[in-house]
Amino acid sequence: MKRRRLSVLLLTGGLTISLLGGCNTANSTDSLVLAEQGNFSAGGTVITSEGTFDSKNPFDPAGQTLHGDHADVFYQIPEDANEYPLVFLHGAGQSKRSWQKTPDGREGFQDIFLKRGFGVYLVDQPRRGDAGQSTVPEQITPATSDQMWATQFRIGRMPNFYPGVQFPQDEESMDQFYRWMTPNTGAYDEEVISDAMSAVFDESGPGILVTHSQAGAPGWKTAMKNDNVHAIVAYEPAAFLFPEGEAPEPIPNRFSQELPGLTVPVDDFKQLTEIPIVVYYGDNIPEQPSDVPAEDFWRASLEMANRWAEVVNSHGGDVTIVHLPDKGITGNTHFPFADLNNVEVADQLSSWLAEKELD
State which of positions 175-204 bind a second copy (CB under 8 A): 175-176, 178-183, 185-186, 202-204
Please give the Cα distance from 358 to 353 (Å, whole number). 5
Q: By CB under 8 A, is residue 288 in contact with a second copy?
A: no
Please give the Cα distance from 326 to 344 (Å, whole number). 14
Q: Residues binding a second copy: what is the number (CB under 8 A)? A: 111
Task: Figure out which of the listed residues 75, 269, 280, 308 binds a second copy, where binding follows CB under 8 A.
Answer: 75
Q: By CB under 8 A, is residue 343 in contact with a second copy?
A: no
**Nearest of 205, 203, 359, 339 to residue 282 by alpha carbon:** 339
Task: Figure out which of the listed residues 1, 29, 245, 257 binds a second copy, where binding follows CB under 8 A.
Answer: 1
Q: Which of residues 204-243 bind a second copy (CB under 8 A)?
A: 204-205
Please give the Cα distance from 174 to 190 (Å, whole number). 30
Strands 160-161 and 207-212: unpaired
Nearer of residues 116 and 307 to a second copy, judged by Cβ: 116
CB of 206 to a second copy, least distance (A): 10
Do you know the residue count of the chain? 359
**Nearest of 131, 121, 129 to residue 181 by alpha carbon:** 129
Which of the stretches 7-15, 215-223, 280-288, 320-328 binds a second copy when contact is defined by CB under 8 A? 7-15
CB of 74 to a second copy, least distance (A): 7
Q: By CB under 8 A, is residue 162 in contact with a second copy?
A: no
Longest dimension (CA), the chain: 68
Nearer of residues 35 and 266 to a second copy, judged by Cβ: 35
Return the exposure string of 328-339: e unless at least 16 CB atoms fall within 10 Å of the residue's CB, then b: ebebbbbbbbbb
Q: Which of residues 299-338 bind a second copy (CB under 8 A)?
A: none
Task: Figure out which of the listed residues 6, 142, 316, 326 binds a second copy, where binding follows CB under 8 A.
Answer: 142
Q: By CB under 8 A, is residue 47 in contact with a second copy?
A: yes
Q: By CB under 8 A, is residue 101 in contact with a second copy?
A: yes
Which of the stretches 99-107, 219-227, 261-269, 273-281 binds a second copy when contact is defined by CB under 8 A? 99-107
Q: By CB under 8 A, is residue 53 in contact with a second copy?
A: yes
Backbone angles phi, psi at 120, to 5 degrees: -125, 135
Task: Figure out which of the listed residues 82, 83, 92, 158 binds a second copy, where binding follows CB under 8 A.
Answer: 158
Return the exposure string of 141-179: e unless at least 16 CB atoms fall within 10 Å of the residue's CB, then b: eeeeeeeebbbbbbbbbbeebbeebbbbeeeeebebbee
**Nearest of 166, 52, 169, 37 to residue 110 by alpha carbon:** 37
Nearer of residues 82 and 348 to a second copy, judged by Cβ: 82
Q: By CB under 8 A, is residue 35 in contact with a second copy?
A: yes
